[in-house]
Amino acid sequence: MRLKSALWVAAYLRRCQVEGCSAVVRRRGAEEAGAIFVRICRLDGSSELFGPAPQSALEPGASDRVFTACLASQPAPDPEIEKYLSRETKFDPDLWIVEVEDRAGRNFLNVVR
């Protein structure tokens, strides 16, 4: 059983806080099952963006949220990240956007390549 998006985001924010990173919810999506995008801002004009991994990348029966890089080249310039998020928001108005500030680019996510 998968955690509700709101609960997962709350736990992720707490994890970032424990690690000494600043993290905020920039856009609140559907409480139950909204897609979650995580932006890692490196504070130098570039960011990394992670979104839900495609179902084909998941193992059968996996209950954990798995993420993948949204752009082929990361970190990417901030305007490129904003453009991507704008397109995704138009496509899915129920998505969540979480922003983390960390110069080292730590993401604390389960990422598949």
Q: For 34-77, write each residue's pLDDT tens digit.
A: 899 999 999 999 999 999 988 765 666 565 788 999 999 999 99
Q: What is the mean pLDDT of residues 14-34?
A: 94
> Given the structure tokens 């129920």, which residue do they identify?
94
Q: What is the mean pLDDT of residues 7-34?
A: 95
Q: State residue 36's pLDDT score.
A: 96
Q: State residue 62's pLDDT score.
A: 60
Regarding the domain with residue range 5-101, which homologous superfamily does it belong to in the CATH classification?
Protein of unknown function (DUF1491) (3.40.1530.20)
Q: State residue 61's pLDDT score.
A: 59
Q: State residue 3's pLDDT score.
A: 83
Q: State residue 63's pLDDT score.
A: 59
Please state whether beta strands 22-27 and 36-41 pair in parallel, antiparallel, or not at all (unpaired): unpaired
Q: State residue 33's pLDDT score.
A: 86
Dig out the tokens for 18 from the structure: 């424990």
Distance CA 27, CA 75 (A): 21
Task: Say if residue 80's pLDDT is above 80.
Answer: yes
Q: State residue 58's pLDDT score.
A: 62
Helix (H, G, I), strand (E, B) or coil at 5: helix
The domains of the chain are located at: 5-101
